[in-house]
Structure 1
């Protein structure tokens, strides 16, 4: 596994998973550590996907915490990836190549975790997630884009992150009325409706 093939966010996830395993005194980094690291590091991909699939996020996190607490504890020694976690990282690499991406990103890790034979995979499947729905949600998030840079996750859903949808707010009645600006509004509409600006 070449860590340079991973995006910056997914590298952070792997490092954070190692820190989690150390802090919990677990002998190996498991898939559950990787998932928890994604939850704590990623603010774009996983929340969007889980909301799209109507997953009870707090319930998943509670079950995950109980599973992590039940893992064996050992103090000292070097922490390596478990056999299953190693398979997951290799599978994420394979998924990235199948999706014709240059780097392994968070969504590849999520799909690989889902396909694994680990407890977190079972937890997600128990929430009613199916692989085709997971892939569809990821495709909707990416809007046909490919992972061609190491900071690709930062560009996902950026419009919703940095802007407000005024049409949506107007539909919900959450915009203040514009009173006494009739002339300015007409002028703006006149300017915007010209063919050349």
Structure 2
């Protein structure tokens, strides 16, 4: 089993983990060579009061018909395997997409069956496969699934599991756990709330100490920010010379209104690169987190200046193979 697949399986909640185990048992009992989507979905349908069961009822999907279609498809699988089966290429794709939905859109600590269903219906290659296997999948309304998922599934047994997972996340990866703060579950800017600190707000609340001896650098930063083009100041220097202090001084001035009119009312957010990268072990997760932050900055009703401390970590410093490179 690949390390990536092991990581994805560790993200499953109680319901989806039992389904994965049951899917493997179904595969072995029938002598199939690969544990595939059909085994997994059939195993999920066997469990009562899951997200999937609630959603089937909501959208008038016939569980009996869906199970029959899945069984028919499984009947066409090549059989005769006497060894331990392997996971098909479809399952890592499904679980990876489900984890991105769970962590980035639902801000959940674990993959629920609702995330699995949504991944199955939105990932193009999997969606095409699912609809070929059973017409019942077409009954699920994607818009409603995306926008009302939490509301519809609140009576599911997995809703209770989700609360427990949020209160006591697995201790297998401390950095990963830090990347799932409960404070990000609500609000209109979950990515900003989760991965940045509003320095201007902290300055208004008296949580930023006065900055002395950096007036020239602060004025230079303001001059650059006031330009129409090439208006991104970059602070360089050895560690400890006071680069962050310049940003804190700027935040204090914004909080006091001691800046030119175009900069009054802006919010200076500090991007926490460590938190952004923590637990982003699944391909595409780091990039999606960063994209969500940028999208929320663009959609903000008031202007936001994003300060990136240790910015060199975003451009592949060190040249490690496979390293996250946000500059791309």
TM-score by length of 2: 0.42
Separation in structure 2 between the aligned mates of residue 30 and residue 20 of structure 1, nearest angstrom: 10
CA RMSD of aligned residues (A): 2.6
Shift of the alpha carbon at 1:70? 0.8
TM-score by length of 1: 0.66
Residue among 33, 37, 46 paired with 1:27: 33
Q: Identify the residue that residue 67 of structure 1 maps to in structure 2.
A: 73
Shift of the alpha carbon at 1:74? 2.8
Deviations 1:96-153 (A, max 9, x none): 112111111221112122234344344256543232233355322345x79353499x
Higher relative contact order (CA 8 A, sep 6+): 1
Unaligned regions of 5+ residues in structure 1, if any?
A: 153-197
Shift of the alpha carbon at 1:72? 1.1
Q: Give the match's secondary structure for 1:149.
A: helix
Separation in structure 1 between the aligned mates of residue 164 and residue 80 of structure 2, nearest angstrom: 38
2:28 corresponds to 1:17: no
CA contact (8 A) 1:14 1:37 kept: yes
Shift of the alpha carbon at 1:56? 2.3
Change (3 A) 1:84 1:7: same
Residue among 96, 107, 115 paired with 1:108: 115
2:141 corresponds to 1:130: yes
More helix by share: 1
Unaligned regions of 5+ residues in structure 2, if any?
A: 168-328
Separation in structure 2 between the aligned mates of residue 92 and residue 76 of structure 1, nearest angstrom: 31
Change (3 A) 1:150 1:16: farther
CA contact (8 A) 1:55 1:127 kept: no
Residue among 141, 164, 172 paired with 1:149: 164
Residue among 117, 120, 126 paired with 2:130: 120
Shift of the alpha carbon at 1:44? 2.7
2:51 corresponds to 1:45: yes
